[in-house]
Amino acid sequence: MTRIDDTFARLKAQKKKAFVSYIMAGDPDVPTALAVMKGLPAAGVDIIELGLPFTDPMADGPTIQRAGQRALEGGMTVDQTLQMVRDFRAGDATTPIVLMGYYNPIYSRGVDRFLDEAKAAGIDGLIVVDLPPEEDAELCLPAQAAGLNFIRLATPTTDAKRLPKVLQNTSGFVYYVSVTGITGAAAAQSAEVAPEVARIKRSTDLPVIVGFGITTPEAAQNIASVADGCVVGSAIVKEIGEGKPVAEVLAMVAALAKGAHAA
């Protein structure tokens, strides 16, 4: 059982939906990003999705791309990202952290070394969007052997033939991408999401969390009501990118969390 598994078990017992928030490590700088990260649990965040900055983030829209660029220009590295996690863990031993990124920085570091360091730092799961199920031996299976959940994305184009392959070695939860395209590209619609979530849940006992296109507390509530929870990323990252004070960013996060938890 990972912290992710424990969190979903607790939420299920409380009959609550999960609220997951995404921020980019080191955006706009390490102290600000860490201050936001440390404030997320008190704002109602159940799981933190932490972006690992990368130069070629093909699944991300302009808002998160710019966040990654700001972090990289500030000198953010894999080492510093792991240190952010360790600094967070010094005051919080329970909130799950999912590292979201791309395979290149992990491959460059070495899979075994990266997994050892990630686990030791306090990371609970990985989302690596450019590794398909056909490459599970590359990272997915070693990650699970190391005690980390490997979370896979399903999309509106994941058909009945492809879905079993996507779910095969997924653990923690399934991340359903509510729109076709990149992050921040369009608004999620609960009427369209509901049948897709139901379709996925017929094939797995894992929680299904919906992300992409959720920007308001009302949208968070609507989407969480037809799934096991929701993820908000671009809307939060946009506030950080605009230089809003940490307290203001966290107040927005709290409103989104309240929406999801009201579902």
Active site residues: 49, 60
Q: List, as one string, the DSSP characters of 170-235.
A: --S-EEEE-SSSSTTSS---HHHHHHHHHHHHTS-SS-EEEESS--SHHHHHHHHTTSSEEEE-HH
Q: Are 24 and 237 in contact (CB under 8 A)?
A: yes
- How far apart CA 143 and CA 141 sit, in angstroms, is 5
Neighbour count for residue 77 (Cβ, 10 Å): 15
Check residue 22 and report its DSSP letter: E
Structure tokens at 50: 């932490």
Phi/psi for 106 (5° steps) reads -70, -45
Structure tokens at 242: 């605009």
* Exposed / middle / buried, residue 161 (Cβ in 10 Å: 0-12, 13-18, 19+): exposed
How far from chain centre, in Å, is Cα 8? 14
Q: List, as one string, the DSSP characters of 32-47.
A: HHHHHHHHTGGGT-SE
